[in-house]
Amino acid sequence: MITDFKLRYQGSVLGYAWSLLRPLLLFVILYMVFVLFLKIGGNIPHYPIYLLLGIVLWSFFAEMTSLGLQSVVVRGDLIRKIPIPRWTIVVASSFSALINLLLNLMVVLIFVLINHLAFTPEVLLVPLVLLEIYAFALGLSLLMSAAYVRYRDVTYIWEVILQGAFYVTPILYPLQLVKSQQLQKMLILNPMAQTIQDIRHLLVTPDATTINHIYGTPLARLIPLGISVVVLVIGVVYFRRQSKWFAENL
């Protein structure tokens, strides 16, 4: 786990600093385009932190699924030589993304403290929401890593889906900008949209629109949560069935 994280930056001049610089540089570019030029987010308190937090959480999701997708194939030699539980390879690949997430959240926390944002007891719910993101990403990683063993097109398809999903998820723009209430209801059912908005609400500003506000009931959160659980279960079942033939297909 730690070794994978170290190897990713081996030979790089800046080394581990890239795990912090990548989301920060992306934040600077998007902030200049969407805030300074397009004037988006002016009505959201502490919008720079609001934007940075969304980028950090999305980067974690994208990194974890991309690493998990290729993890079984990348560790093909290990699978053929050592009889280890196959799922541990996918889980181990997620720890590199988790380390990056923790480092980036520390940067977000520094900005939160600099801006004197008030912490409420609700902030203790943030780890639970992060756990939902992890479960959703793990389910997708298990599903795609098993499929990637046989179908190498999966990685290209996922790259396109990630790019499209980045703009569909309210990361760059406040959800309030979506004028259609029906469209808002559809967008917030995406587990990533729901979790990002929830963490923004808990950590940055109570003005962040959550699924509670859109549907008028906290029970609506059970829908994206249920999607995450279903994806995880499907990923586990499919991975277990396909893992029997990993050694033959690698």
Q: Assess whether pLDDT exceeds 80 at residue 17.
A: no
Q: Assess whether pLDDT exceeds 50 at residue 15.
A: no
Structure tokens at 138: 């793990």
For the segment 66-95, what is each residue's pLDDT rounded down to a tens digit? 999 999 998 877 777 777 788 889 999 898
Closest CA relative to residue 39, chosen from 206, 209, 173: 173
What are the distances in angstroms from CA 127 to CA 130, 132, 137, 196, 231? 5, 9, 15, 12, 20
Q: How far apart are CA 196 and CA 32, in angstroms?
A: 21
Mean pLDDT of 124-143: 96
Per-residue pLDDT at 16 = 56
Mean pLDDT of 113-127: 88
For the chain, what percent of residues have pLDDT higher than 70? 86
* 35, 41 contact by CB (below 8 A): yes
- Higher pLDDT: 62 or 75? It is 62
- Higher pLDDT: 146 or 85? It is 146
